[in-house]
Homo-oligomer: A and B are copies of this chain.
Amino acid sequence: MGRKEVVEMARQELRVGFIGLGIMGEPMVRNVLKAGFPLTVFNRTSAKTERLRDEGAKVANSPAELGPDSDVIVSCVSDTPDVLEVILDPQHGVIAKVRDGTTVIDCSTAGPDAAKQCDQALREKGAAFLDAPISGGDVGARDGTLSIMVGGDRGHFDRAKPVLEAMGKTITYCGQCGAGYITKLCNQICGAINLLGVAEAISLATAAGIDTEAMVTAVSSGAAGSWMLTHLGPKMLTRDDSPGFFVDYQLKDLRIASDAAHSLGVPLPGLGLAEAMFRAASAGGHGRDGTQAIYHVLEKLRGG
């Protein structure tokens, strides 16, 4: 039997449990279903699970109940406390009934300390934890083109890979437990500081009264070019605050990054500044606007 057949067999055998049918989770679950994995879902509110039942999924009443029917359990919730609750709650969490050999994968953005807690607790039950945060937005979740950054046991990663491949396109193994979360936090740090740079360039150009569109085009083509400048620069210019990624989510992620930097003893002045600027955007009523709304903060600072 060749490698391809083994993977195909593994795919057919892997029964998947899924926790969290939010803006990311729901389309991810649909791609898992489409790929042919036997699926059981849990969501805090049940409206969405009913629709999935019609599409062939089984429905569980708690994360714990996924245990007996799942070889791989995927969670996709909001924040570190939610991750800890759905996985570690002794009564309703995954930990309560998880089977020996199960791979538990969390796709939320959380801190490396949470990864270590989950890893340790699941290990005691013979299961494993992979931290596997995602990026690519709701569009990536729908199209199955997410980028997934994974930390944890390599054997469990290899086994669960077909499930990850059903949800994402670029699957990167980043190292031991917590490496996935750290990579995602690096992504958030890099992107947030980058966006601050874009907003400051636009702030100066606007105050100077030059052709801001020409500036964005000229800068995009060179060494200062970036995804943020190309995609969010024009939105700043047209004062379009429509969200691709909420200011409040960015702020939550920077807070987690900041905690991780604190734990590791890493001074990151740009992160501190970016966090303050996004906090100001949120305080200014832009929490549910897209991250480009950070330009409002600079506008206010210059008396606008």
Contacts and interface: CB of A to CB of B under 8 A. Distances in A.
A208 B271 contact: no
B265 A208 contact: no
Nearest to A185: B204
Interface in A193-222: 193-194, 196-198, 200-205, 207-211, 214-215, 217-219, 221-222
Interface in A130-170: 135-137, 147, 149, 151, 170
B210 A182 contact: yes
Interface bin, chain A:
35 or more
Contacts of A257: 204
Contacts of A136: 222
Interface stretch (A26-34, A63-71, A225-233): A225-233
Given A147-B221, A186-B205, A225-B227, A194 B191 contact: no
A23 B105 CA distance: 53
A52 interface: no
A131 to B, nearest CB: 11
Contact of A218 (B149, B202, B211, B274): B149
A267 interface: yes
Contacts of A222: 135-136, 147, 187, 191, 227
A261 B197 contact: no
A302 B210 contact: no
Nearest to A188: B224
A217 to B, nearest CB: 7
A210 B185 CA distance: 12
A112 B204 CA distance: 12
Given A196-B270, A264-B208, A298-B268, A224 B112 contact: no
Interface stretch (A4-12, A42-50, A88-96, A171-179): A171-179
A224 B190 contact: yes
Nearest to A171: B218
A277 interface: yes
B179 A190 contact: no
A81 interface: no
Interface in A265-280: 265-271, 273-274, 277
A198 to B, nearest CB: 6
Q: Which of A175, A224, A257 has the most CB of B within 10 A?
A: A224
Given A182-B215, A190-B226, A203-B268, 20 more contacts: A135-B223, A147-B218, A151-B210, A174-B211, A178-B210, A179-B210, A182-B204, A186-B204, A187-B218, A187-B219, A189-B197, A190-B198, A191-B224, A193-B196, A194-B224, A196-B270, A207-B264, A225-B226, A269-B301, A270-B273
